[in-house]
Each structure stands twice: as C-alpha cells, then as structure tokens.
A and B are shown apart, each in its own frame.
Chain A
Amino acid sequence: MSPRARSALEPAKTNQEQLRNFCIIAHIDHGKSTLADRMLQLTGIVSDRDMRAQYLDRMDIERERGITIKSQAVRLPWELAGETFALNMIDTPGHVDFTYEVSRSLAACEGAVLLVDAAQGIEAQTLANLYLAMENDLEIIPVLNKIDLPAAQPEKFAEELANLIGGSPEDCLRVSGKTGEGVAELLDRIVERVPAPKGNIDGPARAMIFDSVYDSYRGVVTYVRMIDGRLSPREQIQMMSTKAVHELLEIGVISPEPQATKGLAAGEVGYLITGVKDVRQSKVGDTVTTKQNPAKEALKGYAEPKPMVFSGIYPIDGSDYPNLREALDKLRLSDASLVYEPETSAALGFGFRCGFLGLLHLEIITERLEREFNLSLIATSPSVVYEVTREDNTQFIVTNPSEFPEGKIKEVREPIVKATILSPKDYVGTIMELCQNKRGTMLDMQYLGEDRVQLRYQLPLAEIVFDFFDQLKSKTQGYASLDYEEDGYLAGDLVKVDLLLQGEKVDAFSSIVHRDKAYGHGTKIAAKLRELIPRQQFEVPIQAAVGSRIIARETIRAIRKDVLAKCYGGDISRKRKLLEKQKEGKKRMKMVGRVEVPQEAFIAALSSDETSKTEKKK
C-alpha cells in the first residue's frame, strides 16, 4: 500500500502548489462511488471500521438507486515523494438529467478522472461529460475500473479511450474500486498530472458557488471553490449578483464530515454557512466576495438549468393540498431546479404544475414527496413546453396539454434536442428504426472503435420524454446509451388529443401528439382506460377526440351485480375485512364526474407498455 500522508495540510494555510482539485466523470454503474469509498479509506480519512458502502451518497434514494443526485467535495490528504498534498475530490452526478450539475463541478477543478467500466466501455453520457471537461481545459486521467471482473477487456477499452482523448493506451490506469487495486497509483497520478490552481492569493476574495444544499439543522450549506484571495469566519461576505451581505458563520472543508476551519484560501474547496434558509439566496454560479474588500469582477457563472419536463402533481386526498405545498416548499430549499405553480384540474382538483430537468428528476421528486412527506399523489403524464400561435397571431406557452388553446392554430413549435447514442454496431439498424419512428433526423454517424458506433440525431424532446429511453434500452438489450442537449424549437404538425368519459373531457388525460400518431395514441389510451377503470353501475363510454372529431371509442359495460353469494357464520369476519380493504381502495379513487377512476389509471394510461420501473431506474 502506498504511503498515507502522516498529517493533513491545514486549510487556509495550504500553498496552492500543494493542492489538486479533480472530479470523476463516470457513467452511472461504472463504479464511481465504490472508487470514492476506496479513496476515503486509503487516504485514512475514513477508518475501515467506519466505512460503509457509497459513503458519500447521502440520500436514501441515492444509495438505493445507485445514483448520485447532488455533488459533494471531499478533501483528501496524500503524500508523494516525501511531500504532502491536499486533494479535493468533487463528486459529480452521472445522469443526463443532471448534466448542468456536472458542468458546475467541472468548473471547480483542474483535472478529471475519466472512469470507465473495463467490461462495458464508455457510455454516451460519459462521453458528453468528457467533451465538457475537455472544453474546460481539464487534465484528463483515463482510468479503467472493475479490472477484477472476468468480463473485463482492458486492452480493448484502453484503445478506445486513447482514440478519444489522444495519448497511448498505456497511459490508461487500471484499477478496481472493489479490491482497491491501482487506487494508490491513481492518487499518485492525480498529484503528478493535475495542475495546481493558480489563483491570486493576495487579491480580493472570489469564490465560485458550485452547489448549495439545504440542511434542516444548519440551513443552507454552500459549496465553493476559492479562486482568489481568502475567506475567514465571522467575516461579512457579499454575493456579487445580489449584493446581499451575510455573516460567515462557519467555513470549512469536508473530510469526509464537515470540519470548521480558520478559513479557505485561493485554490481550496470547501463550504460556507451563513444562516440563510433558502438555496436561492446562495445561488449556484454566483461569486462570493467580502464586503470589506470586494472584487471588481464576478467570475463567469453558469447557465441556469431550465425545466424541460412538466407534470401536474395532485394529492389523491384533496385535503392534503396544503401539505403538498409545504412539502414542495421544503424540497425547493435544496433543489433550485424544481419549479412549480398552483394549478387546478377539473378532474383532479387542486395541485401544482411542476417543472423538472428530466424524467428521472420527476421520478425522484415524486418519490421523495411520497416517501419523506407521506403523501399519496397523482402525477399526470409528463409534457414538454410548446409554443402555440393561433391564426389571430396570439401566442401561448403551453406547459399543460389541457391549456392548449382552442380555435384555429397557425403553428405549434416544440423543443428539439440533439441526441447522442452510443451502441455496439449490431444495433444500428434497430436504433435508426426507433429514431425514425420517433420523428428523428439523423445528423451523423461515426465509428468509435471497431464495433462501437456513435449516432447523432435531432429528436423532439417530447418523444424522449415519453418512452424513448426505455425503448432504446429494451431494443438494444441495454447496450445503447443516450445523452441529449437542448437544440432549440421547431414547428411540428401537432394536435391535442382529448379523452372523454361519458362525453366529458378529462383534462388530466389530454396530451399533445403528432397528427400522424393521434389515432394510434387515442386508440391505445382508450383501450387502456377500459382495462383500468372498474365497471360501474352504468355504462361508461370512453372516447378519444382531436378537436370535435372522435378518433377512438371504447365502452366499459355496466356491472350487473356486486354481491357476495354466501355469507354465513364463518364468512362474516372475512367479508368485513374485505369491506375494510374496499374502503381503503375507494379512498384511492378519484371521482371524475360520476365515474370512479383509480389512481393507477392516470399514470398507467399514459405510459408506454414497454415501460418497466426497473428499466427506468437505470
């Protein structure tokens, strides 16, 4: 084992020459958290006894799903050739929904470890992040992980990495986060290769906020990368965008638990606490300076993340509405990307239209609302933002299909993305067919190695939001990976499909689809609703319509009887327990007009058949 640093360098007094700031770019299951675990152990900041798997993933959801949602920064002591260094590892989320967080982490580093599973090769999202890192002039350290796996093909993928970033395949380190093999060499390599920060230690303080997290005990904890100068406790600090002044109650580093320090100096990474309660008062991308000696120019910030996907979130039990509001308010404290505003649905009552970065973000938020706040919710089918122009030239921004304007429509524009798909070459035909089917336009295609292909497509975001990723995964046995970025708006031949129960429009079931698909879509949803809505004492016609034209029709026949034949001595307790269960079941029904519609219908009717929960979590 490589030598551990005997003593850590003291924050605020560390020479920039002895600092190394790096992040790890990796695909979701390529072993980043496990590698981080080994680094924590090897550098001695977590004892073997205190170790637990995925130490840095704080939320239950993160550990359960094996994904990182929020970034973290950990200071690691390390010694090489008799000299002690402080390494700051800035964790990055690996999911496409959280790309904007990745770019923030990258801006706080001078180097990036490109971590790739030696059995799987690089994935589309990793590639996208790699390009981001290269654009930021970060020193890239290629690493193949999981070399302990029997299926590992380090030679093959070292070659692939060398092709991507230049250099020779021999530069590619081989490690196993599981066994710890090669991790010490990796830390050595980081010290050798990642450039030290070069800030102006004597200039006015400038610190870049790269994350802001709400902690229920301490208020907002702000993660910063010091660029120039110093910050000390009790100092008056100033946010350069808002000019707001706060007292610096605490400043410190994470190693791996928060440790208050006597300050932070240029090149260092750490956290600030000022007592503010809302993450938006400590905005990511803002520059922190001091009131005493303010910097003249702010650092270049980040683009604010824009919600891409909208969904209506409603409590099943209408009386939970205030609780839902409170829960959203609380979640927003730690998640600045979550936006929402009150909305009313004729079918679902009072709720909120919420904007998310993507589907995973939507899923995580609804899951947290249900789990952490004990709410039963209905989330309507996700929708993107449409720009609709009527013949009379009035314009509408439509985030909710039910708000699609009536009357003659001149043009509907929808958000477009540029998608990058990486896949073994055998699936190219299948993928092209899928993209075609999803209204995609091919931009280009290129071979990354002998058998791996990169396809780039222009696709409507709405298609991706719906079930593209699930289908891509299932049609390629999980081998293909996907990344996408916004690419403006384009006009499309889009129409609103309404669903009617007993002749009444149910706003929560409306959707906006391409005209060519309206019939298929309407037929499918009507058929699904027929399956999902229990028979009632009267006939329930289900219709799908575009405007006033009915495009599909189904009927739920009236139930003829609802009575248990036998009820004698031994049946009574059983029957009463059944009644209790039915009472519970009825609570989870929404009355739409006279029709009882189960909660599942709102979600299931609008999701694709192929969608399985487990696929989605990948």
Chain B
Amino acid sequence: MASALPVGIPWPESGLIPARFGSDQTFHAYVHIPFCEVRCGYCDFNTYTAKEIGGVSQAEFHHSLIAEINKSAEVIRDSGYRERKLSTVFFGGGTPSLFSGKQIASIVQSLEDVFGFEPQVEITTEANPESTTPAFLAELTKSGITRVSLGAQSFDPDVLQTLDRIHDPKKVKPLVEAANQLGLETSIDLIYGAPGESLDSWKQTVSTALDLGTGHISAYSLIVEPGTKLARQIRSGELANTNEDLDAEKYAYADQAFSEAGLDWYEFSNWGKPSKHNQAYWRSQDWWGYGPGSHSHLSGNRFWNTKHPLTYQKQLETRVPVAGLEYLDTKTHLEERLMLELRTSVGVPLAVIEQLGISSEKLTEFVTSNQLQISGGQVQVTDSGRLFVDRIVLDLLT
C-alpha cells in the first residue's frame, strides 16, 4: 500500500495545459523507478518488490519511461510553452540502483534528445548502498550522472534493522570515496527518530556522516505513515512510538554539527551545497515527473500519474498516464509559495506576504516573538522559528 494520490479533476480532453502564471521558468525532470528489493517498514512510496508487480518487467521498464518522455514533449509544445532545456534531472524511487547502467543511460539520452540539457545540468540519482558498487558508479558517470544521493539513513545497525534497511553501514564510506574520485557530487540521506534510536546513536550517525566528506546531507525525522508495517508495529506495541520532543533535540544537534562542519541549512531538512533539483520544487518551478505515481507541475497546473505500473503502462499506449490534475488559482499559488519558501533559508518575498493580505501587524507579531525576520525584502524563519514553520504558516493564513 502506498499513500493515496490526491483527488483531482481528469486530464483535459484537449490534452492541453496552458501556463497559468507565466512560463519563464526553468524546466526539470523527475524520473521514478518503482522497484525495490524489499519494502522498508516505514515506506509509503509508490514502489513494488518483484513479487507485487505481475506483468511488468523491471528490465524493460525504461521503455515505458521513454515513451512518457516523448508524450510529455508533445503536451508541453502543444500547450504553448516555449522550448526549454532541462536544468536538472533526478532519478528517485523506489531504488534507481536496481536499474542497470544501460537503462539509466538510455533514459538520460532520451531526455537530452527530446529537451536538451543546460550547460551546468545537474543529474542526480538516488542509490542504495546494498545495490551500488564503485563499478556501477563509474557506469553512471559515463551515462551523464553528476550527483549521487546515497540512502545511508543511519550508521547504527540496530536502527537500520528497525527501518528494514538491508545494507551494511560500512559500505557507505568506500562508495562516497569512489564517487568523489569519479568527480560525482554526493549527498547522504539520513533518517532520525526511528523507534529505539537514542540521542547518542543519532550523534554517532551525524559524526560518521560528516566524516565521509560529502558536500550535502538530507536528514528527515521518521514519519509514521498510516497503513505501513511500521505503523502496525507501533500500534501493536512491538516498537516504541516516535518521540517528537526527542526529534526536536536531534534536529537541533544535527543542525549545529552540520553547520560547524561547513554544511549550512538551505531548506528545513537539507544542508550543504544546494541541490538545484530540490530547489525547483520549493521555488514552484516547472517539472515533469515521469513514472508511475509521479507528480508534475507546469505553471500552476499540478498533476500526477496513475500509480500502478501495469495500469500506467497500459494508459501510455494512448495518452499521458495522468490520473488527476488540479489548477491553482492565484491565492492557492501564493499560499503554496508561502508554505514552501518559508521552509528555505532564502525565505519568501515580502511581496508574497503582502499579496496574501497578511497584515503588517500580524507579521510584526512574529518578528517580535523572534520567529520571523525580514531581510532584503525577504521574510525568513529565525533559528527558533524554523522548527515551527508549519505552525507559523497556518497562523499567518488564519
């Protein structure tokens, strides 16, 4: 069971989704590889192990993705968007490292053929330590990959076991070294707050991650999604519940340790040299998400693909495999900007706050209580406001 898609309206009969808020945006691609060797207990992403996915071949699936790339180009062109080269590509999943180097290469090639790449294109792939080797990294480099994001999650074997992660934590360091030698940028994904993870265990994970010499770290507190195995284990008492207060402490610790090591925060859960791809999400840029269940955004049109790979493949025979769509109106668009940009260190332009009709008195309250600051026409969260950003957004809007 993966988390449910939102409820939307159907894809328009015309097949066109004209820009709603101008189209002088950069353009990005997300590619979803919906396969995993095992499903992790906490995961509610749209991914399938071999057993779950009758009738879809992992070895052939890149053809479907390429078919979608071709169809998307027609939609974008016919809807009147100007021609744009890709600034970033991101392979996520699932487990992209379950694809062969050749499969990845053919997708990169197809994207370049159809859209072209900007000179400084950032092409990231997620990779799991257990299905990645230095040789595979070399293959990826040849395919055009510039950045690899390793799902280390933790360096504590007990925590990894709780998370159902099957890799040996010792495998991560050689992979980072190999990537560095190949000239790949690296990022390390970490998860804190797993049931049973102590503050000390987390501190150890943070310092091990910093010792790897990576230029980027993402750290997420574990979210117990309903319907996951983890949720059942907690409900039955097999695992302890998560502890929000301890999570807050872990966040504060990590934030300090990362910044002391020269990795500054640029989004609530991200530190170091910013990923241009992720920034595209937070800046409401345009991107097309390829693959089952992927979400896209093109100038105020948000839409998402059919989730099951088999249905996805069938729909692709006739049209783009979009399951639902929503149009953002101006107010929603502005609210989204507030919600997303306030999570980043750059913050949200004061103009957005003003256009939303939020009074300067209200804003001042947050400044006075040291939750927000205003600098250079941007409104930003302060260090103490950062952990309450969702609350601040809600209070600003109500």
- Residues of A at the B interface (CB closer than 8 Å) are 537, 557, 559-570, 572-577, 579, 582-583, 586-587
Bound together, the chains give a CA A573 to CA B397 distance in angstroms of 17
The reply to whether B326 and A573 contact each other, CB–CB distance below 8 Å, is yes
Query: What residues on B are CB-neighbors of A569 within 8 Å?
Result: 30, 281, 287, 289, 294-297
Bound together, the chains give a CA A583 to CA B293 distance in angstroms of 27
CB-nearest residue of chain B relative to A582? B394
The reply to whether B294 and A561 contact each other, CB–CB distance below 8 Å, is no
- Residues of B at the A interface (CB closer than 8 Å) are 3, 6, 30, 220-221, 223, 244-245, 247-249, 251, 268-269, 278, 281-282, 287, 289, 293-297, 302, 304, 326, 332, 335-336, 339-340, 343, 386-391, 393-394, 397-398
Query: What residues on A are CB-neighbors of B388 within 8 Å?
Result: 537, 559, 561-563
Bound together, the chains give a CA A579 to CA B335 distance in angstroms of 10
Query: What residues on B are CB-neighbors of A577 within 8 Å?
Result: 6
Given contacts A566-B220, A566-B269, contact A576 B335 (CB under 8 A): yes
In angstroms, how far is the closest chain B Cβ from the Cβ of A588? 11
Choose among B223, B335, B339 the residue that contacts A566 (Cβ–Cβ < 8 A): B223
CB-nearest residue of chain A relative to B223? A565
Bound together, the chains give a CA A332 to CA B387 distance in angstroms of 51
The reply to whether B295 and A560 contact each other, CB–CB distance below 8 Å, is no
CB-nearest residue of chain B relative to A586? B398
Query: What residues on B are CB-neighbors of A566 within 8 Å?
Result: 220, 223, 269
The reply to whether A579 and B289 contact each other, CB–CB distance below 8 Å, is no
Bound together, the chains give a CA A317 to CA B304 distance in angstroms of 37
Query: What residues on A are CB-neighbors of B282 within 8 Å?
Result: 567
Choose among A561, A572, A574, A579 the residue that contacts B387 (Cβ–Cβ < 8 A): A561
* Interface pairs A-B: 5 shortest CB-CB: A560-B248, A561-B387, A562-B391, A570-B295, A565-B220
Pairs across A and B, CB under 8 Å, 7 listed: A563-B390, A568-B278, A572-B281, A572-B297, A576-B332, A579-B339, A583-B394
The reply to whether A560 and B387 contact each other, CB–CB distance below 8 Å, is yes
Given contacts A562-B389, A566-B223, A570-B289, 10 further A-B contacts (CB under 8 A): A559-B391, A560-B244, A560-B247, A563-B343, A565-B221, A567-B281, A567-B282, A569-B287, A569-B297, A570-B294
Query: What residues on B are CB-neighbors of A575 within 8 Å?
Result: 339
Choose among A561, A565, A572, A582 the residue that contacts B302 (Cβ–Cβ < 8 A): A572
The reply to whether B340 and A572 contact each other, CB–CB distance below 8 Å, is yes
CB-nearest residue of chain A relative to B46? A570
The reply to whether B332 and A562 contact each other, CB–CB distance below 8 Å, is no
Given contacts A563-B390, A565-B268, A565-B269, contact A583 B6 (CB under 8 A): no
The reply to whether B6 and A573 contact each other, CB–CB distance below 8 Å, is yes
Choose among A561, A562, A574, A587 the residue that contacts B398 (Cβ–Cβ < 8 A): A587
The reply to whether A561 and B6 contact each other, CB–CB distance below 8 Å, is no
Bound together, the chains give a CA A559 to CA B391 distance in angstroms of 11
Query: Most chain-B Cβ atoms within 10 A of its Cβ — which of A562, A566, A569, A586?
Result: A569
Query: What residues on A are CB-neighbors of B304 within 8 Å?
Result: 570, 573
In angstroms, how far is the closest chain B Cβ from the Cβ of A430? 34
CB-nearest residue of chain A relative to B293? A570
In angstroms, how far is the closest chain B Cβ from the Cβ of A598? 14
In angstroms, how far is the closest chain B Cβ from the Cβ of A95? 41
Query: What residues on B are CB-neighbors of A563 within 8 Å?
Result: 268, 343, 386-391
Query: What residues on A are CB-neighbors of B326 within 8 Å?
Result: 573
Choose among B6, B245, B332, B340 the residue that contacts A560 (Cβ–Cβ < 8 A): B245
Query: Most chain-A Cβ atoms within 10 A of its Cβ — which of B326, B332, B398?
Result: B398
CB-nearest residue of chain A relative to B394? A582
CB-nearest residue of chain A relative to B393? A579
Choose among A561, A568, A583, A586 the residue that contacts B247 (Cβ–Cβ < 8 A): A561
